[in-house]
Structure 1
Amino acid sequence: MADARYIGLMSGTSLDGVDALLVDFTAAQPRAIASHYHPYPAELRSELLTLCHASHIELHRLAQLDVMLGELYAAAVRELLNTSRTDANTVAAIGSHGQTVRHHPAGPHPYTLQLGDPNIIAERTGITTVADFRRRDIAAGGQGAPLVPAFHAALFRHAGRNRVILNLGGMANITVLPRDTAIPVTGFDTGPGNVLLDGWAARHRGTPYDAGGAWAAGGSVLPALLRRLLADPYFTAPPPKSTGRERFHLEWLEAQLEGTEDPQDVQATLLELTARSVAQAIADHAANADEILVCGGGAGNGALMQRIGFHLAPRAVHSTLHHGVEPQAVEAMAFAWLARQTLCGEAGNLPAVTGARHPVVLGGIYRGRLNADR
């Protein structure tokens, strides 16, 4: 079991599609064998975006979207297997994060909700599927996120370097990896990563994202707006903490606008917001970091990487590709690894990261078909 192949499925806060990654865990260093990106159809993405912000959810449609996403994830797996010419019988399990549409880890009744019915994935692919990773950590008193730091620690911790892994997804999060193994690994969501940048670009440019940060780079940062945005209490709240679209969205931004700002200058300010909040989080919680390894879609935003590098100088800032892992593959690989942890009966959370009372085995196991005809 420990040496088998696994598939990781990751669809993040950007709500653009699902990354499917086939991973080989035979060697000490996990190896990505093949990948496939399956975009969300425009109508489905629009419904999911609405669902993330709706004050009331119609249960019939919610259940339908759960099934629709399960079918889409299963299709992504089948396409991955077909293009890589991989026999489904050689895959031990699929780890599916699901699509987060609500994340409220605080309050008297904390909860998190990810869609993408794993029953559908297991039935359509015939492969055992592990899903619903977050809720067990919440049941143990944790935030349910971020969960990827446990994988970061297994893959990137170095005895001679104090490292920070920075994931620039829809939300940005950091994992602090001290070189001293007696010091626990920590991590948390720092705030918005790409989510506001993508949303503002879509509204004013009609594009899903600002490629390379070129539009933002042509604007000017608005100091007063930046101060108002950084004044949000989330940025100074102590970890453990996690966040999502339910807090950082375009309506949150609009509440801070005066209405006369140039849209390009707002984009430049949003880019600076991500860079400053990330840099401040590292300064506050990983001041002795020697290097920062960046993963996620934001690693391809040259303007954002330049501003992060500026704020974190003289520390080295570079992508995880320098250490053999494509930046876009890290999270999907993490959920393949988490599925493996679950099937091996090993904990997948880090209590020092999530705030859980103790380590727990994450996720539910949905067994594949009993016959070999998949």
Structure 2
Amino acid sequence: MAETALYLGLMSGTSADGIDAVLARFPDSGGCTLIGRLSRAYPDALRQSILSASVRARALDLQTYAQIDARVGQAFAQLAADLVEHSEVPWADVAAVGSHGQTLFHDPLGNSLQVGDPNRIAIACGRPVVADFRRADMAAGGQGAPLVPAFHRAMFGRTDEDLCIVNLGGIANLSHLPSCDGPVRGFDTGPANGLLDEWMQTRRGCAFDADGALARSGTVHRPLLDALLAAPYFQQPPPKSTGRDHFNLEWCRARFPALDTLPDEDVARTLLELTVQSVADSLAPLADGGTRVLLCGGGADNGYLVERLREQLAQRTVGTTADGGIDPKWVEAAAFAWLAKRRMEGLPGNLPSATGAHRAVVLGAIYQP
């Protein structure tokens, strides 16, 4: 592919708060240049359908699945078309679209389901679409997640220092990028924004806790935090991955039945602290205390979450991926643009050291218009 080719990345995370889209160029000299970016919330009815389906995925009826698949595909296609129009570039300059889709179900033992019919995106955009990124890694014995460590290595890896990239989406994941030739390690640490978002939606009727304001006003409820941190996932060694179908409010209630009797602000504060503690505990054994940490994802905009992470990781320098050249909001969408480029070039996209696969494989299927 020509060095001037553009790739369009589409991403929606486990919080299902909306879709991010970027137009990116990846020069042969390295790095990523974002030509255009656009984000859009899902319509309320579609978001509610996604959230409901992701919690009850094991009992989802096929008609509901097919309807959500089509509607998400249409939403992705419309955002891609609007981004190209706003960016004032011809579709002919876009080599391919990389669509992560919307995860409804993720079982690290061998199954992962993303919706957002790529055929609808390909037909609407008139360009090849790469989708279904996770299952090739699973077929090779991996967990299909996390897939972003390969992109993190390509964009942020350095020879002069260790770095840890922490993505704070609905689920938090990290990538440890050693300065030497050692393997990149990456895994999901547990919930990031997902639980707090769900609590805010249920109790306050809003999508998220803006800047952590409600959490900041509360107090950590230690019995609740201890009950949640005692979950086996947090002690499980990597490789490991998880999703909203595991970490949701029903999971919280199962571990702490009195959840709904607590003050809203105390639960919010405790759920935020769960993210802080699980991320910090995951980082502790990875590298020495001087390793720099770069944050990305929606949680990087939560001022109180970032403040608490900096306090908990006081021995480390904590910044954002903007320090490495990519705005933290757009890292994951850019990653799937890059993975589309890898697929179109026939190159592997996974890192077995992160997913647990027995070999590197080419990720994704190509859907032609």
Name the structure 2 match of 1:270: 271
Indicate yes or no: 2:94 matched with 1:95: no
Q: Any idea what the Cα deviations from partners look like across 1:165-221, whole Å, max 9, x if unmatched?
A: 00000000000000012x100100000000011111112222100011011011111
Name the structure 2 match of 1:249: 248
Name the structure 2 match of 1:371: none
Name the structure 2 match of 1:32: 34
Contact 1:167-1:295 within 8 A present in 2 as well = yes
Contact 2:163-2:292 within 8 A present in 1 as well = yes
Please say which of residues 52-61 and 328-337 is displaced more in the overlay.
52-61
Contact 2:10-2:20 within 8 A present in 1 as well = yes
Name the structure 1 match of 2:6: 5
Contact 1:169-1:296 within 8 A present in 2 as well = yes
Give the aligned residue type for 1:34. Answer: G
**Where in structure 2 are the equivalents of 1:273-312 lying within 5 Å?**
273-288=274-289, 290-312=291-313
Question: What is the DSSP-based 3-state SS (H/G/I as helix, E as strand, rest coil) of the residue aligned with 2:207?
Answer: coil
Name the structure 2 match of 1:61: 64
Q: CA deviation at 1:7?
A: 0.3
Q: CA deviation at 1:23?
A: 0.3
Following the alignment from structure 2 to structure 1, what is the Cα–Cα distance between the partners of residues 287 and 107? 26
Following the alignment from structure 2 to structure 1, what is the Cα–Cα distance between the partners of residues 233 and 119? 36
Following the alignment from structure 1 to structure 2, what is the Cα–Cα distance between the partners of residues 62 and 249? 20
**Where in structure 2 are the equivalents of 1:1-374 lying within 5 Å?**
1-3=1-3, 4-26=5-27, 27-54=29-56, 55-106=58-109, 110-181=110-181, 183-255=182-254, 256-258=256-258, 259-288=260-289, 290-368=291-369
Following the alignment from structure 1 to structure 2, what is the Cα–Cα distance between the partners of residues 99 and 260? 33
Contact 1:163-1:289 within 8 A present in 2 as well = no
Q: Point out where structure 2 has 5 or more consecutive residues left out of the alignment.
A: none
Give the aligned residue type for 1:263. Answer: D
Q: CA deviation at 1:2?
A: 4.7
Give the aligned residue type for 2:154. Answer: A
Q: TM-score if structure 1 supplies the norm length?
A: 0.95
Q: Any idea what the Cα deviations from partners look like across 1:22-48, whole Å, max 9, x if unmatched?
A: 001235221011111122111111111
Following the alignment from structure 2 to structure 1, what is the Cα–Cα distance between the partners of residues 77 and 152? 26
Please say which of residues 68-77 and 134-143 is displaced more in the overlay.
68-77
Q: Any idea what the Cα deviations from partners look like across 1:149-175, whole Å, max 9, x if unmatched?
A: 000000101111111000000000000
Question: What is the DSSP-based 3-state SS (H/G/I as helix, E as strand, rest coil) of the residue aligned with 2:175?
Answer: strand
Contact 1:71-1:121 within 8 A present in 2 as well = yes
Following the alignment from structure 2 to structure 1, what is the Cα–Cα distance between the partners of residues 261 and 12? 35
Contact 2:290-2:315 within 8 A present in 1 as well = no
Q: CA RMSD in A?
A: 1.1
Q: CA deviation at 1:316?
A: 0.3
Following the alignment from structure 1 to structure 2, what is the Cα–Cα distance between the partners of residues 306 and 257? 30
Question: What is the DSSP-based 3-state SS (H/G/I as helix, E as strand, rest coil) of the residue aligned with 2:16?
Answer: coil
Give the aligned residue type for 1:185. Answer: V
Following the alignment from structure 1 to structure 2, what is the Cα–Cα distance between the partners of residues 249 and 64? 23
Contact 2:31-2:154 within 8 A present in 1 as well = no
Following the alignment from structure 2 to structure 1, what is the Cα–Cα distance between the partners of residues 290 and 15? 28
Give the aligned residue type for 2:190. Answer: G
Contact 2:118-2:129 within 8 A present in 1 as well = yes
Question: What is the DSSP-based 3-state SS (H/G/I as helix, E as strand, rest coil) of the residue aligned with 1:19?
Answer: strand
Q: Point out where structure 1 has 5 or more consecutive residues left out of the alignment.
A: 369-374
Give the aligned residue type for 2:20. Answer: D
Give the aligned residue type for 1:180. Answer: C
Q: TM-score if structure 2 supplies the norm length?
A: 0.96
Contact 1:97-1:131 within 8 A present in 2 as well = yes
